[in-house]
Amino acid sequence: MTEGLRERKKRETRQRISDIATSLFLEHGFLTVTIADVAEAADVSVNTVYNYFPAKEDLFFDRSDGVVEQLSRWVRARDKGESAARAVLREVRAEVEAVSPRVGLTEGYDDFMRVIQDAPPLRSRLWSLQQEVHDHLEATLREEAGAPDDDPLPRLMAGQISWIHQTVFTAVGREMLKGRNPDEVSREMLVLLDDIEELLSEKVLNYAVRAAQ
């Protein structure tokens, strides 16, 4: 459907507020900047900021919905004959090989991670997001495998598969905080992904294989 003028203006306003807030957080720190500071810099009211972002943490993790759904999207789009875990491994490898900002391989990502490190509320929100990723993936795996509600396997598999993504993200963040070159970190993450795949059992690697027909 074509985006209407009202929807476009709302989207643009939301993005502008988010961009301004992120700049303030990076410059002054998450704990120091208030919602009132963001509203003043964006030339909107405090209520307008809250209308778009119910919590201050939402301003920083403004693209969290896409992150929560990403693993599930990869699993649903897996190739014929491909398992859930192998689909995620393939997608993560592609992002790492492309030195993609989506996995943190970009100049300035160290500043982003430093803001999180210095703010306990953001660390707590990040943990919550990781749990949401797991729960969303579990629901997807349960559906894709046709598993009943009392089957614990989709939950266990979601833990193993989300671990792939989380481990790479954590390793990238740790190395980028050292001020390293994204290309160098990318090469190291490809080796890490090989190690991760070797650690996964055949049961994990062959779970939820998409039928050839």
State residue 186's pLDDT score: 97
CB atoms under 10 Å from CB of 150, counted, come to 5
3-state secondary structure of 61: coil
Positive/negative CA dihedral, 116, 120, 123, 128:
negative
pLDDT in tens, 145-184: 999 999 999 999 999 999 999 999 999 999 999 999 999 9
Instruction: Give the pLDDT of residue 141.
Output: 98
Angstrom CA distances, 70 to 75, 77, 191, stand at: 9, 11, 23
- Both tokens of 20, joined, read 């301004």
Contact partners, residue 168, CB within 8 Å, separation at least 6: 92, 96, 103, 189, 192, 193, 196
Q: Name the pLDDT band for 185 (thresholds 50, 70, 90).
A: very high
Query: What predicted TM-score, i.e. pTM, was given to this entire model?
Result: 0.89
Per residue in 69-120, pLDDT tens? 999 999 999 999 999 999 999 999 999 999 999 999 999 999 999 999 999 9
